[in-house]
Structure 1
């Protein structure tokens, strides 16, 4: 089974690192093959190829249209993370978002 590729996009890639790590942990606990990587908004377009989904930081409303346009060009769905995603310590909420998208 191919591992799902999930991009977690934020301004500089810092907060998305925590979300990506927790998402991977939750996926493993659920028996899912998933690779999540943190991507800064400025360079996410370089890594979109082969992605299955994009999770976008809620603090990037100005970048949402660009992210959706680039991801849409590759047939990749985009979901905006809730503003309180930092409270998702076990990654289950982020995983539920991915599962709903796919």
Structure 2
């Protein structure tokens, strides 16, 4: 698998920072090359040309339509994270979910 560039988004960016860190640790433990950045939702457009996947906090489901507009024909996979692992910041479960897209 090639190196994946992932953008992880939640509202303000605080919890997404912890989640990104936990996914990074999980990926390192599995010898996977994943670059994961945590940003606020307002910054999504700035990263669309650089990423392979976009992970979105479960409370942001309402922005999925907007994201489809940003994507246009870009081959970016979009994952709405599940509340059960997002709420506990479970990086292993989040990584498992992400990998199902590839």
Q: How many corresponding residue pairs?
A: 101
User: Cα RMSD over matched residues?
Assistant: 1.7
Offset at 1:69?
2.8
Change in Cα spacing, 1:36 to 1:64, as seen in structure 2 (3 Å) is same
Q: CA deviation at 1:10?
A: 1.1
Describe how 1:44-55 pairs up with structure 2 within 5 A. Answer: 44-55=44-55
Aligned to 2:88: 87
5+ residue gaps, structure 1? none
- TM-score of the two chains, using structure 1 as the length reference: 0.88
Structure 1 runs (4+) deviating above 3 angstroms are none
Alignment of 1:48-63 (within 5 A): 48-63=48-63
By how many angstroms is 1:77 displaced? Answer: 1.0
> TM-score with structure 2 length normalisation?
0.88
How far is the alpha carbon of 1:35 from its aligned partner?
Answer: 0.8
Instruction: State which drifts further: 76-85 or 1-10.
Output: 1-10
Matches within 5 A, 1:73-84: 73-84=73-84
Q: Which runs of 5+ in 2 are unaligned?
A: none
- The 1:24–1:72 alpha-carbon spacing in structure 2 relative to 1, beyond 3 Å, is farther
